């Protein structure tokens, strides 16, 4: 226990969870897949591409003649929407439910693959009538309703690229994205339901469209029935235009590298980056990973990914992966606490959800609300649980497995990014002996590792930067309109390797642990300490529900550790507790990681995708004026945090 603390030996996690025997016995993927892909990586992906139905089979798997600009399955031709919809109907599964939609107010709708085919065809015909053609861009600004998936598939069907903008973003953010992508058509709704009331969307589109000069048509879904302003000649109701179209539309085959979508990521600085994804490679990897990582059995599983379609998780694991696989899934419009804090579990029970995919921020919120809430529902249908978006603290992982998965279901911690398009590093539920808090192993066909500052691969036990060393099918192809920024951002830090921007370490078994964005790593008295590890240590204390840790400038140590914690329901905010938490971290990670200050707060600043904005907490810890707060879910949170600060510091 007297080890010298450094990045490589902080937080020893000894717990292991082997796959349930029955799941392993019938798992889609066995350990063989790793060997096969290692022996012939491109052959492996060529085989995975055969999951899709190609109008023209590709003969070339990867063209890497102009790195890092990849072309996958270059001479192949396919229609993505046909793959996600029509072919399942042709195979006799037209009556299978594709989407169980659950609206926040409690309305619901089951859409079969046959119905989806009709609606996607109608929407495709409508877009054609509005003048949208192959290669054009269409902006989508919708709530979580089936029309979001239908609109995306309709674009794919006619070879137009969609650019989905999260419905929680402002008119300003929408205008920037419409302009950058040069979208002539915007698909939106009057509004959606959020926290028990209608929340308007159309006014933001009106404002955004007024600021740019390229929007010719706005197609409006009626969801809430609220009043909307109307611009004659520009605005059209979805039910009028789409509803009146023929349900026949013959899908055309496009080249594998036909752009499928642009999705903007904000990043920490600069203007948003339009991440470009194309068709054949993207669909191959999202279909393969959805099938392998979740052990999907399309005939019997009910899959539920709780993300919004405005994020890449919704693109890849609500729309493209699940539908390419002919899965049945749940789509939920609202928030987890409307009308009550058991809403998610009620939905799992109602639809018999077997696979649940959600985010650590949601899991920690459920922990805070209490174990008794999920305990009131029948969750016995669940067989695989997934996590994505941030490192999951070991205690949150254990809580998830125990309280949601009855201490029986595997938990897959999936690491990937908007840029990677699909899951890259994750346990496999029927193969991997899981370690809480670690994404562990690159999937078959994926080459990822951890390197030091000089790009040398670290040995077991070492820490550094996560890199991807070989191209992968669903990789971003470029940043829309800015090849140079694509090169600078991802390919210049380490020659020939993709730099993900995440800190990582390899444990003694060679398993990968993600440590958060490199910008968030702290340097205390010459030691690199990861915010993730200190947060996990805090969350492992029974009184702590959530924690956010930042490094604040410190005259003697370079940086000192400042922690913001949300206490669990009953814990009292006392000086004794703060002292106890400091020594708890010290004994878990070593004295070097002991926070200098710990501040109990009621909320943490989060982006709309649920990530903690440590940058703002750093501003608070360093007594600086706050930076840009426009991407916060709730800007008032920062006032509450500042009000709690001792004035002297």
Of residues 430 through 459, those in contact with ligand WT7 by CB under 6 A are 439
Among 312, 330, 331, 641, the residue binding ligand WT7 under the rule CB under 6 A is 312
Please say whether the beta carbons of 350 and 361 come within 8 A. no
Q: Does 389 bind ligand WT7 (CB under 6 A)?
A: yes
Choice between 125 and 420, CB closer to ligand WT7: 420
The DSSP string of 296-338 is --TTT-EEEE-S-TTSHHHIIIIIIHHHHTT-EEEEE-S-TTS
Q: How far is the CB of 419 from ligand WT7 (least distance, A)?
A: 7
Q: How far is the CB of 360 from ligand WT7 (least distance, A)?
A: 8
Choice between 114 and 363, CB closer to ligand WT7: 363
Q: Does 412 bind ligand WT7 (CB under 6 A)?
A: no
417 is an annotated ligand-binding site residue: yes
389 is an annotated ligand-binding site residue: yes
- Nearest Cα neighbor of 515 from 500, 501, 531 is 531
Q: Does 201 bind ligand WT7 (CB under 6 A)?
A: no
Q: Does 85 bind ligand WT7 (CB under 6 A)?
A: no
* HEC letters along 179-225: HHHCCCEEEEECEEEECCEEEECHHHHHHHHHHCCCCCEEEEECCCC
313 is an annotated ligand-binding site residue: yes
- Nearest Cα neighbor of 283 from 560, 474, 524 is 474
Choice between 48 and 609, CB closer to ligand WT7: 609
95 is an annotated ligand-binding site residue: no
Please say whether the beta carbons of 234 and 215 come within 8 A. yes
Choice between 431 and 439, CB closer to ligand WT7: 439
Span of 71-79, 210-218, 320-328, 386-394 interacting with ligand WT7 by CB under 6 A:
386-394
CA distance 169 to 246: 33
195 is an annotated ligand-binding site residue: yes
Cα 138 to the center of its chain, rounded Å: 22
Among 102, 136, 390, 546, the residue binding ligand WT7 under the rule CB under 6 A is 390
Q: Does 417 bind ligand WT7 (CB under 6 A)?
A: yes
DSSP 8-state secondary structure symbol assigned to residue 545: E
Choice between 202 and 517, CB closer to ligand WT7: 517
Q: Does 599 bind ligand WT7 (CB under 6 A)?
A: no
Name residue, tokens 């709690």.
644
Output phi, psi for 620, to 5 deg: -65, -45
Please name every residue paired with 162 in a beta bridge, in sequence order, or none if there are none. Answer: 138, 261
Among 82, 238, 399, 415, the residue binding ligand WT7 under the rule CB under 6 A is 415
* HEC letters along 8-49: HHCCCCCCCECCCHHHHHCCCCCCHHHHHHHHCHHHHHHHHH
Q: How far is the CB of 565 from ligand WT7 (least distance, A)?
A: 20
194 is an annotated ligand-binding site residue: yes
Choice between 559 and 609, CB closer to ligand WT7: 609
Q: Does 193 bind ligand WT7 (CB under 6 A)?
A: no
Of residues 481 through 500, those in contact with ligand WT7 by CB under 6 A are 500
Among 502, 507, 535, 619, the residue binding ligand WT7 under the rule CB under 6 A is 502
533 is an annotated ligand-binding site residue: no
* Signed CA dihedral, 607, 609, 612, 618: sign only: negative
Among 80, 138, 154, 388, the residue binding ligand WT7 under the rule CB under 6 A is 388
* Signed CA dihedral, 515, 517, 523, 524: sign only: negative
Q: Does 517 bind ligand WT7 (CB under 6 A)?
A: yes
Cα angle at 360 between 359 and 361, to 5 degrees?
Answer: 90
Inter-helix orientation angle 113-129/146-158, to 10°: 60
Span of 35-43, 139-147, 384-392, 552-560 interacting with ligand WT7 by CB under 6 A:
384-392
Q: Does 324 bind ligand WT7 (CB under 6 A)?
A: no
Q: How far is the CB of 197 from ligand WT7 (least distance, A)?
A: 28
Choice between 72 and 311, CB closer to ligand WT7: 311
Q: Does 416 bind ligand WT7 (CB under 6 A)?
A: yes
Among 115, 414, 440, 478, the residue binding ligand WT7 under the rule CB under 6 A is 414
CA distance 395 to 377: 22
CA distance 408 to 363: 17
Please name every residue paired with 218 in a beta bridge, in sequence order, or none if there are none. Answer: 186, 235
CA distance 474 to 204: 32
Name the binding residues for ATP: 389-391, 413-418, 502, 517
Which positions touch ligand WT7 (CB under 6 A)? Answer: 265, 311-313, 388-391, 413-418, 439, 500-502, 514, 517, 609
Q: Enumerate the known binding-site residues for Mg(2+).
A: 539, 541, 544
């Amino acid at each position: 226990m007297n080890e010298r603390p450094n990045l490589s030996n902080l937080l020893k996690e000894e717990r292991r969870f082997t796959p349930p025997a029955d799941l392993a016995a019938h798992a889609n993927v066995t350990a063989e897949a790793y060997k096969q892909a290692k022996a012939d990586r491109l052959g492996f992906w060529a085989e995975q591409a055969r999951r899709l139905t190609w109008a023209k089979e590709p003969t070339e798997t990867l063209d890497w003649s102009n790195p890092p600009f990849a072309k996958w399955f270059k001479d192949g031709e396919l229609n993505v929407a046909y793959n996600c919809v029509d072919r399942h109907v042709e195979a006799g599964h037209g009556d299978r439910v594709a989407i169980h939609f659950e609206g926040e107010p409690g309305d619901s709708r089951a859409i079969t693959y046959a119905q989806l085919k009709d609606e996607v065809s109608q929407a495709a015909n409508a877009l054609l009538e509005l003048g949208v053609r192959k290669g054009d861009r269409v902006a989508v600004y919708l709530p979580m309703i089936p029309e979001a998936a239908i609109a995306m598939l309709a674009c794919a069907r006619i070879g137009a690229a969609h650019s989905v903008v999260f419905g929680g973003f402002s008119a300003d953010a929408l205008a920037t994205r419409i302009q950058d992508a040069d979208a002539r058509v915007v698909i939106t709704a009057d509004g959606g339901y959020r926290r028990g009331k209608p929340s308007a969307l159309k006014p933001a589109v009106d404002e955004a469209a007024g600021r740019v000069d390229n929007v010719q048509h706005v197609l409006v879904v009626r969801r809430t029935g609220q009043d909307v302003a109307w611009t004659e000649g520009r605005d059209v109701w979805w039910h009028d235009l789409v509803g009146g179209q023929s349900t026949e539309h013959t899908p055309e085959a496009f080249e594998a590298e036909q752009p499928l979508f642009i999705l903007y990521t904000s990043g920490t600085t600069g203007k948003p980056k339009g991440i470009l994804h194309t068709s054949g490679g993207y669909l191959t990897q999202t279909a393969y990973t959805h099938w392998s990582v979740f052990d999907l059995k399309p005939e019997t599983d009910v899959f539920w990914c709780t993300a919004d379609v405005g994020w890449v998780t919704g693109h890849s694991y609500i729309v493209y992966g699940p539908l390419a696989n002919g899965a049945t899934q749940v789509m939920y419009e609202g928030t987890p606490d409307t009308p009550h804090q058991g809403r998610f579990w009620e939905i799992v029970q109602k639809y018999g959800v077997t696979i649940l995919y959600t985010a650590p921020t949601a899991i920690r919120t459920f922990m805070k609300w209490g174990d008794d809430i999920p305990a009131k529902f029948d969750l016995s249908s669940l067989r695989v649980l997934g996590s994505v978006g941030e490192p999951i603290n070991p205690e949150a992982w254990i809580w998830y497995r125990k309280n949601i998965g009855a201490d029986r279901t595997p938990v897959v911690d999936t690491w990937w990014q908007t840029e990677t398009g699909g899951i890259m590093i994750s346990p496999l539920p029927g193969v991997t002996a899981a370690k809480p808090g670690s994404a562990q192993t690159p999937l078959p066909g994926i080459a990822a590792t951890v390197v030091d500052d000089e790009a040398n691969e670290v040995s077991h036990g070492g820490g550094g930067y996560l890199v991807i060393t070989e191209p992968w099918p669903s990789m971003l192809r470029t940043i829309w309109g800015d090849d140079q920024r694509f090169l600078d951002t991802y390919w210049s830090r380490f020659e020939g390797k993709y730099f993900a921007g995440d800190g990582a370490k390899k444990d003694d078994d060679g398993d990968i642990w993600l440590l958060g964005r490199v910008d968030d790593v702290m340097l205390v008295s010459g030691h690199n300490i990861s915010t993730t590890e200190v947060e996990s240590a805090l969350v492992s204390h029974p009184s702590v529900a959530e924690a956010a840790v930042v490094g604040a400038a410190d005259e003697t140590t370079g940086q000192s550790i400042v922690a913001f914690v949300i206490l669990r329901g009953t814990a009292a905010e006392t000086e004794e507790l703060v002292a106890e938490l400091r020594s708890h971290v010290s004994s878990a990670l070593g004295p070097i990681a002991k926070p200098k200050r710990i501040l109990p707060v009621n909320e943490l600043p989060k982006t709309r995708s649920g990530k903690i904005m440590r940058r703002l907490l750093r501003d608070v810890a360093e007594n600086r004026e706050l930076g840009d707060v426009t991407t916060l879910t709730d800007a008032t949170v920062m006032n509450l945090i500042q009000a709690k600060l001792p004035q002297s510091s």
